[in-house]
Amino acid sequence: MIFTIVGAALTLLTVYGVLKLDRKLFLSGIAYFSFLPIIGESMAYNADKDKGAAHIVVIFVFIAQFILALPTKIVYGPDNSAAMKLTMKIGLALLVFNIGGVVYIFCLNTGVPAQYGYYHAVIGLAIVYLLIKRASGVSWVKQ
C-alpha cells in the first residue's frame, strides 16, 4: 500500500512538473520514482533467485534512470545548443525506460501489480508531452 501511495504521489509530482514546466519538480518525481522499482525488484530478487538475472537488469535500468533524472543546479537555456540536444536524448532515454516498464509489467507476466504499469505509462505520456513542447521551442520556467 505504501508503494502505491508513494508511486502515485511521485507520478503526480512528475506530471505537475511538466504542466508547470518546472524542471526540478519533473526530474525529482522521476528520480525518486525510480527507487520504487529498485526496491521492489531487490525484494523480488531475494524471494526468487531463479529469475535473478531479470531482476538485476531491471534494477540497473532504474539506477540509470535515477542518475539521468537526478536534478542538478546547472542552469542552461535555449542558447546552449549542446545542452538542448543532450536534454532531448536524456528525455528519450527516460521515455524508453518507462515504456520498458509498461512492457515489463503488462506483457511479461511478472506479477507486478498493474498500477505500477499505469504509473510508468503516465510518466511516459508526460515525457512525450514535454518533448513535444520542448521541440516547439517552449523552455523551462527560470529557477
- Output the CA torsion sign for 96, 30, 38, 1: negative
Calpha distance 127→5 (Å, rounded): 21
Calpha distance 16→49 (Å, rounded): 38
pLDDT digits (tens, 9 = 90+) for 60-115: 999 999 998 888 777 666 677 777 778 888 889 999 999 988 998 899 877 788 89
Q: Give 141 or 111, the one with higher predicted confidence.
A: 111
| Verdict on whether the full-model pTM lies above 0.85 | no
What's the pLDDT score for residue 122?
Answer: 95
pLDDT(51) > 80: no
Domain boundaries, the chain: 2-135
**What mean pLDDT, rounded, does the chain reach?**
85
- pLDDT category of residue 14 using cuts at 50, 70 and 90: very high
pLDDT digits (tens, 9 = 90+) for 57-71: 889 999 999 998 888
Calpha distance 132→95 (Å, rounded): 12
Q: Which of 140, 122, 135 is nearest to 14 (CA)?
A: 122
